[in-house]
Structures are given as C-alpha cells and as structure tokens.
Amino acid sequence: MEPAPAAEQSLWIFGYGSLIWKPDFEFTSSKVGFIQGYSRKFWQGDTFHRGNERMPGRVVTLQEDHDACTWGVAYEVQGEHIKSSLQYLNIRESVLGGYTTKFVKFYPQDEGHNGPILALVYIATPQNPSYLGPASEEDIAAQIIVSSGCSGHNIEYLLQLADFMRFFCPDTEDKHLFQIEEALIAILPCFYSPNDPLAVLY
C-alpha cells in the first residue's frame, strides 16, 4: 500500500465502485469527477461482499487505458480521520477485496475548481488471487445474477453503479457498464420467476 504524503492534513480518496454510494468512513467533502488513463471493468472476483467462495461475484477494478477516463466520487478526509479511514479501507478493499493503492490525478466535475486533485485509489491487479479478468458482457451478467454476499446481491451493485452514471454523469459513455446492465435485464427472466423480487427490478 502506498503511504499518504507525510505532512498532509488532508487526503482525497477516489471511489469508482461501491465507495460511490457507500463510503462508510468520515469525510469532510465529496466531489463527482473523473480520473484519466483508466477504464472501469467488471474483472475482479468477490467472495465476500457480493459473492462467496462457491459463486464469486463480479465487481469493478481499473484497467490502464490511455484514451479512457473513469468517473466516480472523491472524498476529502481530514486530520484524525485519515488514519481510521485508511485502516477501515485496508480491511474492506485490500484484505477482503484484493486491491492495492496508488495516487492518481482526480478532475472534479465542478468547473470552478482549480486543476486536478491528487487522490488515493484502490485497484485490483491481475496478480491478486481473486482476479477473474475479461469475459463477455453476457457471461459477466449471468455471473452477477446468481451471486450474493455479505453486502448484498451482486445485481444491486451493478444497478447502483449504472444509476450513478445515468444521474450524475448523463453525458458520459460507459459502454462496458451499460452493456452488462442491458444483458442482465435481457436474461433476468431466465433465472427468476415473475413473482421473484429480483425479476421486477425493472
């Protein structure tokens, strides 16, 4: 894990998955925005939050992509909350999730902000044991449909992320995300009966 700059009293943390709607740590402010040079992919396996050992869920990580950008939310953490937030995220993202950290430039959506912000981000690399890698959007959707973990159903994770992009970044294309959502909606009736709560998500 990369250490935060030693003399800083403020730390920004960028979330592009579940941290968008469920940070669960104390923060002073938050901003919607993006980082450059990465695309968001459902290539990381999850055997705790959105799946289990028998049926791993699919959650997002970042793939280096020179021409891409990934939208999300950055949180400003200050003072005494920095240590406790990093301790919490180390368990949630690194120990249970298989993610490592690095610093990236975050560009706020708010045009009034002066320049990019240095932010900490969690990335699951191919070297971690839970990494699943590429698959077709249809195969990813099928895996998401049958996966559930301690934080809830994998379907909820996908739809929360799609809703964020749709409502907060309406002019931004996330082809991978929306194609998986579209595939999931198409095949959902094959997995659940019309009376099942999961079948009436849309």
Please give the positions annotated as active site.
93
3-state helix, strand, coil in the chain (%, to 5): 30, 35, 35
CA atoms lying within 13 Å on the CB side of residue 192? 16
Candidates 34, 51, 76; CA nearest to 171 is 34
- Residue 73 identity: V
Residue tagged 């997002």 (tokens): 60
Residue tagged 């991978």 (tokens): 176
* 3 state SS for 105-143: EEEECCCCCCCCEEEEEEECCCCCCCECCCCCHHHHHHH
From start to end of the chain, where are the E strands? Answer: 10-15, 29-46, 57-78, 100-108, 117-123, 148-149, 152-153
